[in-house]
Structure 1
Amino acid sequence: MARDNPVRTGVHSKTDEPLPNLVTIVGRGVPASFEVTVDGEIEAESDDPVSDTTIVSGSSAEGMIEVGVTRLRFSGELANVHLADWNGTPAPESASTPSVHVEYNV
């Protein structure tokens, strides 16, 4: 399946300034999936989000994480975060789901 703009960086396409807000997803050593939706724009901060298994489309991003961190920059407000461990058990029912940190205006 083809996507428009398959790789996006953390630089806002309209102003060349980074989007003002940051969400950081931290893996806990167990494969897990995440989906983040905002009411503005969202972009992966990685130089190569495809290799980081992060897909950005419209105002949402989704991907997989096991270890390390995934950072996404966004404008507007965070609308929804969905996390699930490798068994599909959602947070907060599973201690294996990644942790999420949100910072505004950074």
Structure 2
Amino acid sequence: MTRDTSVQNRTDAAANERQLPNLVTIVGRGVPSNYEVAVDGDLESLADDPTAEGPVVAGSVAEGAIDVGVRRFRFSGEMANVRLVDWNGTEAADSASVPTVHVEYGAPTR
């Protein structure tokens, strides 16, 4: 039995860039913090070793912890929500210690 539609290989960078054209980057500031990112499309972690870095991606939501380093996610659609809390649960607006978040729409693959 043949398939009428082709199956795209998720490792094809050009196809992935078209499918997930946007990039969100979370940068730790040296303080243990938690993050949650939600989009209205698809979301995929760019972690080299997702088990070691620990982001949990379920559908269009990613969550995890960071103290130093960078976490990157590619996504389609629009950014829906970002929630950041520092080690003692203080929200981003009230804490200078939470990670910074950069969102780039139409970001080239690197």
Question: Which residue pairs with 2:31 in the alignment?
Answer: 30
- Describe how 1:56-95 pairs up with structure 2 within 5 A: 56-95=57-96
CA distance in 1: counterparts of 2:45 and 2:11, whole angstroms: 10
SS in 2 for 1:92: helix
* C-alpha displacement of 1:16: 4.3
AA aligned opposite 1:51:
A
* C-alpha displacement of 1:50: 2.2
Matching of residue 46 in structure 1 with residue 47 in structure 2: yes
* C-alpha displacement of 1:12: 7.5
* C-alpha displacement of 1:77: 0.1
SS in 1 for 2:94: coil
Q: Which structure: larger Rg?
A: 2
**Gapped regions of structure 2 (runs ≥ 5):** 1-9
CA distance in 2: counterparts of 1:102 and 1:12, whole angstroms: 22
CA distance in 2: counterparts of 1:21 and 1:12, whole angstroms: 16
Matching of residue 104 in structure 1 with residue 94 in structure 2: no
* C-alpha displacement of 1:47: 2.1
Question: Which residue pairs with 2:16 in the alignment?
Answer: 17
Identify the structure with the greater helix proportion.
2
* C-alpha displacement of 1:68: 0.7
CA distance in 2: counterparts of 1:65 and 1:58, whole angstroms: 21
**Gapped regions of structure 1 (runs ≥ 5):** 1-10
Q: RMSD of aligned C-alpha atoms? A: 1.7
AA aligned opposite 1:71:
R
CA distance in 1: counterparts of 2:50 and 2:79, whole angstroms: 20
CA distance in 2: counterparts of 1:66 and 1:41, whole angstroms: 26
Q: TM-score w.r.t. structure 1 length?
A: 0.84
